[in-house]
Structure 1
Amino acid sequence: MSTAVITPPPGFTLDINDPKVQEAAIRIQASYRGHRSRKELREKGPPKILQPLKDVVLLEGSAAKLECRVSAFPDPFIIWSKDGKELKDGSKYRYVFEDPDVVALVVRDGVLADLGQYTVSIKNPFGVTSGSARIIVEAPAQVVKGPKNVLVVKGSTVVLKAEISGEPPPEVGWLLDDDDIEEDDRVSYDIGDTTTVLTIKNVQPSDAGRYEIFVENNLGMDLSFARVEVL
């Protein structure tokens, strides 16, 4: 039995020793291997996370995206949660499915409250798997609510309070007429996560003036002031 030899079309030549031809052959083989690998990954079985979630930084007012690559066949059911509480797909949180095997969560309009641990749960009839990562929120330092002006009697106690925010947590300082306030047995200030309080005991006429609170981190600074009058 003879084997027919197919003659190339007129003007067509193929040199298997040509580097470009060899390169094209390598790309075709690699593409086939990749297709075969993807087919093998989609064999029935419990979901697998092929590329885990990574921590991301979310700037206040912007959006962040958490994503991971998964293998699951049949197609899985996806649930995203934050600090153990399920997140609903909507205007704030958006479930995203990117072909062929990437699942993602977009967090919009970032605020400090978005800081936390996020978990994706991937489930199909053969099992469930999950992965977690953190969203780290960064926001410029801010005096959310400044202290109020006060009028006090000599010998009484003055308390000036300000609400503050910022991530990383800001440095905080108090000034009187542009001079740093030093703590002593009469004057002290406390700095919390969201507030700072300046306390002046046994107020004297020299304590009257313009009190300034300033906050600063690597993203910005802010200040506010109030006046204290002593009778």
Structure 2
Amino acid sequence: MGLSRLSFKFFPNHIRVLTSSDCGRCPKEGCGPPGCTLNINDPQVQEAAIRIQASYRGHRSRKELREKGPPKILQELKDVVLVEGSAAKLECRVSAFPDPFIVWFKEGKQLKDGPKYRYVFEDPDFVALVVRDGVLADLGKYTVNIKNPFGETSGSACILVEVPAKVSKGPDNVKAKRGTTVVLKAEIRGEPPPDVAWLKDGDDIEEDDRVFFDVGDTNTILTIKNAKLSDAGKYEVFVENNLGTDQSFARVDIL
């Protein structure tokens, strides 16, 4: 009785490595570019083949192991600060299979994917909303709704808007008679609300019962009662917050 000869093949990492005997094998004629050859014995080629096949097998295994079920939020949304004129991004990490349907809302109103609001899917696990060209009206609560055939979940966070201090409309020049009341008004904006100061000829105005100023949400008013000749001069309104400063000037003449 003859003995059968056993043969063994060693596959590194359980992956078959091509050898020189595999050269020229092609499913059909002309499958490669003319004049191109591949040295299968090159260690770098073998190492690259192992990495590519292992990566594919790992990707396939992860996909096959995913269990079907309702979406889950693995990393919650966080509040972000949006500076006027710039962009902000809200993002969270999710787990969902089958792939979920994503919808974003602001204060309960659905946001459509477009130039202003951009839906972003950075990879299978992260979803994000980019808010572009920030304005004060973007301040508010944002919610993401994640839904697939097995259920749904949601998460929320706030966008806080910061606006550099600005005098959006400065005071007008004034000519007034002695003994009358002079009023200088300026429109201001900023978030956080800016600090406001009034100056006369470069010096801070010291308030009293006759000369004083008020600051509202969107304006500031300087009042000068019983105007005197000495009240004539150059007046300045100055605003400042952590994002910037601004000022505007007006001339007061007392006749």
TM-score norm. by structure 1 comes to 0.79
- Structure 2 vs 1, CA of residues 204 and 39 (structure 1 numbering), >3 Å: closer, same or farther? farther
Of residues 57-66 and 103-112 in structure 1, the stretch that sits farther from structure 2 once superposed is 57-66
Gaps of 5+ in 1: 13-27
Give, in angstroms, the shift of residue 35 of structure 1. Answer: 7.4
Letter in 2 for 1:158: V
| Paired position in structure 2 for 1:98 | 122
| Mapping of residues 150-189 of structure 1, within 5 Å | 150-189=174-213
What SS is found at the alignment partner of 1:143?
strand
Asked if 1:124 corresponds to 2:148, the answer is yes
Q: 1:185 to 1:35 in 2, by over 3 A?
A: farther
CA distance in 2, matches of 1:77, 1:5: 53
Number of aligned residue pairs: 214
Residues 1:203 and 2:205 are matched in the alignment: no
Deviation at 1:221, TM superposition (A): 1.1
Asked which structure has the greater RCO (Cα within 8 Å, sep 6+), the reply is: 1
Alignment correspondent of 1:88: 112
**Separation in structure 2 between the aligned mates of residue 203 and residue 127 of structure 1, nearest angstrom:** 72
Greater gyration radius: 2
Aligned residue in 2 for 1:47:
71
- Is 1:6 equivalent to 2:30 in the alignment? no
State the distance in 2 between where 1:88 and 1:73 align.
Answer: 24
Matches within 5 A, 1:107-122: 107-122=131-146
Shift of the 123–207 alpha-carbon distance from structure 1 to 2, 3 Å rule, reads same
Q: Separation in 2 of the partners of 1:125 and 1:91?
A: 30
Which residue identity does 1:216 align to in structure 2?
E
* Deviation readout 1:116-163 (Å, 9 max, x if unpaired): 222111122333221112222233221111111112222222221111
Task: Give the 3 Å change call, closer, same or farther, for CA 35–205 of structure 1 in structure 2.
Answer: farther
Write out aligned runs for 1:28-43 (5 A).
42-43=66-67
Partner letter of residue 96 of structure 1? V
State the Cα distance separating 1:112 from its structure 2 match. 2.4
TM-score, normalization by structure 2: 0.73
Report what 1:69 is aligned to.
Answer: 93
For residue 6 of structure 1, report the CA deviation from its aligned partner. Answer: 1.9
AA partner of residue 206 (structure 2): E
* Structure-2 change in CA distance of 1:180 and 1:35 (3 Å): farther
Encode CA deviations 1:40-59: one digit per residue, 9 max, x unaligned.
5x433322111111222222
Distance of 1:39 and 1:63 partners within structure 2: 38
CA distance in 2, matches of 1:165, 1:38: 52
How large is the Cα RMSD of the aligned pairs? 2.8
In structure 2, distance between residues paired with 1:118 and 1:63? 15
Render the CA deviation track for 1:59-93: whole Å, top value 9, x for unaligned. Answer: 22221111111122333222212233222211111
Which structure has greater strand proportion?
Answer: 1
| 1:201 CA drift (Å) | 2.0
Q: How far apart in 2 are the matches of 1:144 and 1:62?
A: 19
Aligned match of 1:135 in 154, 159, 163?
Answer: 159
Unaligned 5+ runs, structure 2: 11-18, 20-40, 42-53
Label 1:99 to 1:77 Cα distance change in 2 as closer, same or farther (>3 A): same
Q: Which consecutive segments of 4 or more residues in structure 1 shift more than 4 A?
A: 34-40
Is residue 245 of structure 2 the alignment partner of residue 221 of structure 1?
yes
Q: Look up the equivalent residue of 2:140 and give its one-letter code.
A: G
For 1:228 and 1:5, how far apart are their aligned partners in 2?
Answer: 106
Q: Flag the 1:59–1:145 CA change in 2: closer, same or farther, 3 A.
A: same
Partner of 1:147: 171
Code of the residue aligned with 2:8 in structure 1: it is I
- 2:28 aligned residue: none
